[in-house]
Structure formats: structure tokens, C-alpha cells
Structure 1
Amino acid sequence: MTGTTGTTGMNGGSGPLRVGLVGYGLAGSVFHAPLIAATEGLVLDTVVTSNPERQEQARAEHGAGLRFAGRPEELWARAGELDLIVLASPNKTHVPLATAALEAGLPVVVDKPIAGTAAEARTLAALAEEKDLFLSVFQNRRWDNDFRTLQRLLADGTLGDVWRFESRFERWRPRPKGGWRESGNPEEIGGLLYDLGSHVVDQALVLFGPAASVYAESDVRRAGAEADDDTFIAITHANGVRSHLYVSATTAQLGPRFRVLGSEAGYVKYGLDPQEAALREGERPRAGKPWGVEPETMWGRVGSGESPLTGGGTPVPTADGDYPAYYAAVAAALRDGAPNPVPATQAAAALDVLEAARRSARDGLVVTL
């Protein structure tokens, strides 16, 4: 077993793996806790939150037997009772908490971004390797419906040689919501570049490989906003594919989620994967029941020579979204030494691009990697 594959459960292989979840805000309550609870072989054991309302919410959603801790350090003190730590805490806490968990001998899942810099991410990866512990990053949008569909189209050669990949994660939020995610304090690692940018960059690298150069434009558009809320990233991949990535909270008219142009055909897909909305509404994935299913009216189109909005192209069935697959893979890695679904070294490569994008936007230049 290595830091990039897995470990056998600390409970000796009997019973479910016990998970300690740090944080029960949006990430913890909407994404991690429901997906952990839905995964065979995992059980949510302890939630770290000192907020009484969040404790009450978590108990109502996950049972009276759920335990609570006021501080993460309480988990390190009883590391022998747990098999996995999941960090759904603010970005600035990811590195110190992941370091402490690994030092306590605990495998770790960290929400994205794993760190503020690629160097920090690689230091964490090296520590996990040294400790022979599992360390993974929650890049859930590798299991989005449109992304899985595009992977299928690339694998079967439908598009030919891809020349340009356009990816948009756009919203219309003309007034800032506040909170650490929109803070201008560099210590908070806020702003869309590191928030939604972590998703679109990761997807581009998974699809088309390493980046050779990066150019970016980043702006603070909204009155009262402190961090970037309208950012464009252009990646030239080592294989020649160009990725044009847009993340924005200021988009009054939303563009296609994906527009992929190849030598034989293009693929255009509108609309976001439905899983986040379903989780926010309280729906939960359950064995034997449909999950991540999209209506035919939202299917993307493959074709050439005409816009899909005027009837061009052929509708392509969208693969079902599958966020539960991430934690199923985590459980398999911990139990059986199966591959890590998202190694920290891959997250570090994405951070190389994000750091280059920040430098490019600041200095107005193309950054070579």
C-alpha cells in the first residue's frame, strides 16, 4: 500500500469504515455527508462542528447515533476509532488540517482546492507517501453527466481530433453573497479562479493532458466584491488542444456548458449536471433508484455545419451523473488497494495552471509551464 493507492481499514477489515467529517456547511451537508452515507462500506461516525444548529441538522439527517466534536483536534486524539477523515472546511484550513490528520495516521479526503499552491499540494502528497497513507481530492465534477458523456465521445472517436474545448461554469449573481468564498484576503483562497476554476481546469487536464502554456483574464466586476468574479483561462495543452475556460458570477446570458470542436464533428451541451440541485433539495442517491438522470430535452448535440439551436446535429443521450462513484472508489482504495480516484499529485498539476492563470491575469502575459 502506498499514499497514492490505499490502506486497509483500521478496524481490521470488519464492519464499515468509520468517517470523521470536518465541517457541516454547504460542502459537508450537501455533498460529503449524503454521499458518504450512500456508500456501501462507509459510515458517517463523527461530524466536527461547534454550531448547535448544524449539529441538530446533522443529527436529523444522519441519525441520533452520530457523534460530534467541537474541534478537529478531538479526532486526532482518538484516531484509532476512525478510518478516514474528510475535510469539508474552509479552503485556508485544508493544508494544516490535512497535515495534522496524516501526522495522526489517518487517511484523508480533502475538498478542492486541496491547497493554495501546487508546492503545498505536493508537500502533502509527499507526507502521505512517507506515512503510507491514502490522500485524495474531492473533484466531484469528474462524475458530471456532461463530462462522462464527452469522455465517451472522445473514446469512440466521434469528434475526430479535438482542436478546441470550451467549458463554461457561469452564474448570474449580480450581488455578492459575502463569506470567505468571496473574500479578497489571500489567506482565504477565495474567488472564482480557485473555486469554479478548480473544476474546469481539472476537467480539461483529465480530458486533454498536461498544459504547456496558460493565458488568463480575471476581473472583479460587481460593486462591493473583493475577489475575482469573472475569469477566463486559455490553456494550450502539450498535445496541441486549446482549452478555453470561463468561470463567472456575472453572466446575464449563460453560454453552453461544453462546446467541443473536432476535425469530424462538434459537441454542444447546455445546462448543469442535475446532481448538485438534487442534493440541495434533499434528494439522496439510493441503490436501485435512478440518480443523475437528465431529460432528453437537455441532451447535447453532435454535428457539423449548423448551430444546435437551429436544429443542427443529432441529440446524444447524456450519461447519468455519478457522484456516488467517487466515495465508492475511496472505499475500494481503502479496503482493497484499488486506485485512488483523484491523487493529490493530479490536484497539484491543476494548481500549477491556476497559479499560472493568476500570474498571467496580473501581469498580462502568457505563462509557459
Structure 2
Amino acid sequence: MSTVIQVGLVGFGLSGRYFHAPFLSVNPRFRLKKIASSRPEAVRQFDASVEWVATADELFDDPSIDLVFICSPNETHTDYARKGLEKGKHVVVEKPFALSEREAAQVLALAQRQGLLVTAYQNRRWDSDFLTVKRLLAGGALGKLVEYENRYDRFSPVDPATRSWKEQPGPGRGSLYNLGPHLIDQALHLFGKPDTVQASVRIIRPHSQVTDYFDIRLGYTDKVVRLKSSLMAYQNQLRYCLHGTEGSFTKGGLDVQEEQLRVDRLPNESGWGTEPPDRWGTLYQAGRAEPVESERGNYSPFYDNLYDALVNGAEPAVTPTDIQQLACIIDLVLASNETQRVMPVS
């Protein structure tokens, strides 16, 4: 593999167009060579020098491609990841990595047999708010943490005319697979494997055909961890609420990077990922409430680590253990919802 990694994207919707292509285009160690998409006009509009093909198989058959990003609908992730690995490509899979722990384990085992890297894209580890939470916890600002609640809400009523695949029923559809991996991964990254999982997954929007609400409780012996999401939250500001023996921290608003990407700003521009003060969180200690300046959000370290893993053999930021553990938790969320029981984590 050359020192400039040749990259292909499968899919050029929100993920491929706005979350991956901009970061790849400004990183000199990657070259975005080819995109498989049903939207050739969008590819040409982004960068006319990038080759367009109509199918993923055409991209996988290109021997010059070193690395493939899978940014297609959820139910295709496992199949495309397998095909990429079988064609000798390293693979990055958008969330959800797979629709079950069994599928995730199969893909991870195939990558190991092929001597290739496969990892999951977990960009929300580099969100401004999450980096700020990590900093506060590492510095002991809250004392011993006793309660952690993380929400990812939207107000997204069903449009009867929508043709989006995300609103169509089928395997891997709904908020648990769309927003759930972000919240679950962040909790596992902070606290490790829980002892138990208890969850409710529901449809709450009128006319919705996919689940659009979840409430997940991860059981730890020393803290309460709750992850929630609703697509019917008109007031959707609250993101984090943490309580500890020495203080509390609350934080609203979403990381600014997605907003910046959607208006075609690039990650190498000044001011990238910097939150305005009205999104800063508040730390409550000893009767005082003080604003906490947010860390700068930046997804670029994911790509820097990816390059280091491919070229220098570094450990990927999102490890096989991370991937399989998250898939296991989603399996247990579904089982808990179906049985209305608290599920032990083995």
C-alpha cells in the first residue's frame, strides 16, 4: 500500500457526502478516488475529479482501491463489508456496523483471516460535548460520578410523502440503529461493559413505520447510566446531565460540525468545531453555577488514527472488542424490550 491511501466510498448520501468526503478531501494522506452511488450529479458537484460508478461491485473490483467506506443503507453494511474484505480492501463501516452480534463477529473474523483492517465509524467520540464530558470526568470536577444521562432527541414528524429509506420498515431501521450506536458507544467508551441492560423501544410518532423512541438503562454497580432518544421532542436541547458527589453538569445543543459540513465548510477552515458560548454547559458546585467552555469538536483524529493503523500498525481507535460489545448491547436492548426483563451481560 502506498503512503497515500486510495479510497472508495459506497454510498453518497448524508454520511458519504457530508461526514466522510470533506475530511478525506482535505487530508493529504488519503485520495478519494472513486464513489459508488445512485447520484452521479452529486458526486460531480462535490469533486469532478472523483470517479463515479453505479454499483458497489464495480468499486470493489478496482485493484487500485486500498480502503473502502461503507455508507449505504443499514441492512447492506454486513454484505458490503464482506465483499470488500474478500476483494482485499480494508473497510470502514458506518453505524450500525452490523445488525447483530453474530453478524459483527463474522465480519471481524473474516478481516482477521484476510489480514485486513475493519473498523466502525464512531465520529461522536470527537463531538465537542463528549470531549468536554470526558475532560470533566478525568479532572474529577464532579467527584465520584453517580448518575449519567445522555439524550439525542429530534423533532422529526413523519412526512407521508417521504421516500427516505430511513422511514421504511425493514431490518436495521429505526432510531435504535440510527442514533443508538452513538449513545451506546459513548457510554461504553466511558464506563466499559455494563452488568445488565434494560430497555424500551417504541413507535411514538403518528404514522411512523419505524421505531422512533428508546430508553436504555445500562446497569453498573456504582452508577446509573441512562440513554434516551425521541423523534417527537419539540424541545430537544438537553444532551447531557451528570451528577456526582461533588457537583453536577448539564449540557445542551448539538456539536456544530454537522451544521458546518451541511453548508460545505471544510474541516481545515479556521473556527472548525468551535461551539458558541450559548451551547456551553454549566457546572454546578457548592451553590455556584458556572459556564464551562466546550472543547473544540473535530472528527479529523478518526482519520489520522485510521492512517496510522493502516500504515504503521497502530491500534484502531474503534477496536474489534468495541464493535462486538456494542452489537451485543443492541441485541440485549431488543431482547429486553421484547421480554420486558432485565438482561444480564455475559
Q: Same fold (TM over 0.5)?
A: yes
Q: Quick check: 1:76 aligned with 2:60?
A: yes
Q: Quick check: 1:342 aligned with 2:318?
A: yes
Q: Quick check: 1:203 aligned with 2:203?
A: no
Q: Is the 8 A contact 1:302 1:313 kept in 2?
A: yes
Structure 2 counterpart of 1:40, from 23, 28, 48: 28
Unaligned runs of 5+ in 1: 1-9, 307-311
Q: Quick check: 1:327 aligned with 2:303?
A: yes
Q: Quick check: 1:87 aligned with 2:70?
A: yes
Q: Is the 8 A contact 2:43 2:52 kept in 1?
A: no
Q: Quick check: 1:291 aligned with 2:291?
A: no
Which position in structure 2 is the counterpart of 1:7? none
Q: Quick check: 1:17 aligned with 2:1?
A: no
3-state SS of the aligned residue for 2:198?
strand
Which position in structure 1 is the counterpart of 2:335? 359
> 5 Å matches for 1:93-132?
93-132=76-115
Question: Structure 2: how far apart are the matches of 1:266 and 1:132?
Answer: 46
Question: Structure 1: how far apart are the matches of 2:106 and 2:67?
Answer: 20
Which position in structure 2 is the counterpart of 1:182? 167
Question: Structure 2: how far apart are the matches of 1:27 and 1:349?
Answer: 23
How many equivalent pairs are there?
343
Which position in structure 2 is the counterpart of 1:266? 248
Which position in structure 2 is the counterpart of 1:218? 201
| Cα offsets for 1:274-314 (capped at 9, x unmatched) | 11111111111116x221001122211111476xxxxx521
Q: Is the 8 A contact 1:172 1:252 kept in 2?
A: yes
| Cα offsets for 1:219-250 (capped at 9, x unmatched) | 2112221111111111113x532211111101
Q: Is the 8 A contact 1:168 1:255 kept in 2?
A: no
| Cα offsets for 1:299-334 (capped at 9, x unmatched) | 11111476xxxxx52111100001122112111211
Which position in structure 2 is the counterpart of 1:276? 258
Unaligned runs of 5+ in 2: none
3-state SS of the aligned residue for 2:238?
coil
Alignment-mate amino acid for residue 267 of structure 2: P
| Cα offsets for 1:29-83 (capped at 9, x unmatched) | 111111211223001000001x3xx322222222x3211111111123223x011
Following superposition, the deviation at residue 352 of structure 1 comes to 1.2
Question: Structure 2: how far apart are the matches of 1:330 and 1:71?
Answer: 25
Question: Structure 1: how far apart are the matches of 2:259 and 2:196?
Answer: 34
Which position in structure 2 is the counterpart of 1:56? 41
Q: Is the 8 A contact 1:18 1:43 kept in 2?
A: yes
Task: Give 4+ residue runs of structure 1 displaced > 4 Å after superposition.
Answer: none
Q: Is the 8 A contact 1:113 1:347 kept in 2?
A: no
Q: Is the 8 A contact 1:40 1:328 kept in 2?
A: no
Question: Structure 2: how far apart are the matches of 1:154 and 1:166?
Answer: 14
Q: Is the 8 A contact 2:35 2:59 kept in 1?
A: no
Question: Structure 2: how far apart are the matches of 1:349 and 1:144?
Answer: 21
Q: TM-score, normalised on structure 1?
A: 0.89
Q: Is the 8 A contact 1:34 1:284 kept in 2?
A: yes
| Cα offsets for 1:181-240 (capped at 9, x unmatched) | 22322x3x0000111011001101101111111111122112221111111111113x53
| Cα offsets for 1:334-362 (capped at 9, x unmatched) | 12222202123312211211111112122
Question: Structure 2: how far apart are the matches of 1:74 and 1:344?
Answer: 28
| Cα offsets for 1:66-119 (capped at 9, x unmatched) | 11111111123223x011011001111111110111111110000010100011
Question: Structure 2: how far apart are the matches of 1:197 and 1:240?
Answer: 23
| Structure number with higher relative contact order (C-alpha < 8 Å, ≥ 6 residues apart) | 1
Q: 1:211 to 1:284 in 2, by over 3 A?
A: same
Alignment-mate amino acid for residue 276 of structure 2: P
3-state SS of the aligned residue for 1:193?
helix
Following superposition, the deviation at residue 178 of structure 1 comes to 5.0
Q: Is the 8 A contact 1:121 1:345 kept in 2?
A: no
Question: Structure 1: how far apart are the matches of 2:34 and 2:92?
Answer: 15
Q: Is the 8 A contact 1:208 1:241 kept in 2?
A: no
Q: 1:132 to 1:231 in 2, by over 3 A?
A: same
Q: 1:255 to 1:234 in 2, by over 3 A?
A: farther
Alignment-mate amino acid for residue 317 of structure 2: P
Q: Is the 8 A contact 1:201 1:245 kept in 2?
A: yes
CA RMSD for the aligned pairs? Answer: 1.5
